[in-house]
Structure 1
Amino acid sequence: MTDRQTRKMPTNGSADLPLETREAPVNSIDAEKRTVEVVWTAGAAVPRVDPWTGDRYVEELVVSDKAIKLDRLNNGGPVLDSHFRFGINSQIAVVERAWIEGGKGLAKIRFPKEGLDEEIDRIFSKIADGIITRLSCGYRRLKIEVDKSKDPKVWRVVEWEPFEISFVSVPADPAAKVRADEVPTSACEFRTIGAPSGPAARARMRLRAAAAGLVD
């Protein structure tokens, strides 16, 4: 029996999921105050890979004050270089304020004073000059509604927590992410809705399970 066969997605209950990232753009820059305003999420649908079956699904982040826990970002959340979380030198700025507005997650980021760190000064100059233009937000998913009536199925993330914002050169391809045992995980609650029924739907489910190696 393969490792994939032993790990099945829960229909209801709790499971550990890898931490994820989302691409976002730079919004506006104040060179004098060394601040940058960013849109760190707009909740767009993103294709991903089921960590249990290897099947593709669509992840939808619900963007609302109720769905998103902003405590960590608003408590001096870190701004990192390319999601590197394993050293203090990788933190290049700090989140001054994060909020939800117009269906988007916004934040004001503050960089150190000029002259304190030459490398960060170079990064800020490249941002101000329009060379570095992309960000990615790291987050953990807390509650997910799995809609199996759609094809591919939809994981609607109804509760989640961003914990860092990163400036990146090439945003991670979310569709290429697969399960890896060394990737940090967090507990997530699952609830299945809209499960398909009827002979045709059951036949499609058997074919997908067979293709994933879950049944003979």
Structure 2
Amino acid sequence: MLPRRDQLQIRLAADDASAGGPLTYDKHQHTVEAVISMGSPVKRSYGTELLRISPDAVDLSRLREGGIPLLDHHAQSSIDKLLGRLVDAWFEHGALVGRFKFNQTEQGQKAEGMVARGELTGISAGYRVDQWQITDADGGVVDERDARWDDDLTFTATRWQLFEASLVGVPADAASSIRSLGDPDVLRSVRARMRARHNIVLRNSRLSHE
């Protein structure tokens, strides 16, 4: 059974406890397979966020064009944070799965050793959302022009691009602030417009009763 989003982790050996590491680790190729995303709901300040996991929804073009790096905790400030790269990706039982190859640098070899020994299991995705679908609590599609800022809304990423993956100390999506690349600004803007329209309606309602 695949893990829930709050249990995302590199695939570990379940039938050989003495191995202490993932069955998919290949010490000769310096590769390992990992569940990158399952798209499960995550609470945000603007509502609930979902990632749609399908070939039509996930843009993996960077894998073919320039590569998708494996980073240390989403850090992009130094080449020392480059641990490896994604060399293959596919869809399996509703999850986005990938094969990562470790760099043979000091940092890459350190990360590879920790993964091989089962000491580091967390994986997290960094991505950009290009298209959202907004739905209400009943599952109905909502036009942002008609939604109230305080509605119980779900934002489903129906088209998104994977930019990087990271090894993290906590194998969970709790570090939600680093999960998307720049997208909270877009959604805050949507919420701000909803709130502004809501305030205008309230103000006009008060004026009509004066």
TM-score in terms of structure 1 length: 0.65
Is this contact kept in 1: 2:86–2:98, CA < 8 A?
yes
In the aligned structure 2, how far is the partner of 1:86 from the partner of 1:26?
A: 24
| Matched ranges for 1:135-174 at <5 A | 135-150=123-138, 152-170=152-170, 171=172, 173-174=174-175
Q: Closer, same or farther in 2 for the Cα pair 1:174/1:131, shift >3 Å? A: closer
- With a CA cutoff of 8 Å and minimum separation of 6, indicate the structure with the bigger relative contact order: 1
In the aligned structure 1, how far is the partner of 2:111 from the partner of 2:71?
A: 11
In the aligned structure 2, how far is the partner of 1:134 from the partner of 1:23?
A: 9
Number of corresponding residues: 162
2:87 is aligned with 1:96: yes
Is this contact kept in 1: 2:10–2:34, CA < 8 A?
yes
Is this contact kept in 1: 2:81–2:107, CA < 8 A?
no
CA shift at 1:161, angstroms? 0.7
Name which of structure 1's ranges 134-143 and 86-95 shifts more when overlaid on structure 2. Answer: 86-95
Is this contact kept in 2: 1:23–1:40, CA < 8 A?
no
2:115 is aligned with 1:127: yes
Q: Closer, same or farther in 2 for the Cα pair 1:174/1:168, shift >3 Å? A: closer
SS of match in other structure, 1:80:
strand
Stretches of structure 2 that go unaligned for 5 or more consecutive residues are 1-5, 12-23, 139-150, 204-210
Selected match of 1:61 from 46, 51, 60? 51
TM-score in terms of structure 2 length: 0.66
* Equivalent in the alignment of 2:18: none
User: Which one has the bigger strand percentage?
Assistant: 1
CA shift at 1:172, angstroms? 5.3
In the aligned structure 2, how far is the partner of 1:91 from the partner of 1:112?
A: 8
In the aligned structure 1, how far is the partner of 2:73 from the partner of 2:95?
A: 22
Amino acid at match of 2:163: F
CA shift at 1:25, angstroms? 1.1
Selected match of 1:25 from 1, 6, 9? 9
In the aligned structure 1, how far is the partner of 2:48 from the partner of 2:167?
A: 24
2:76 is aligned with 1:85: yes
In the aligned structure 1, how far is the partner of 2:136 from the partner of 2:48?
A: 11
Selected match of 2:34 from 16, 38, 43? 38
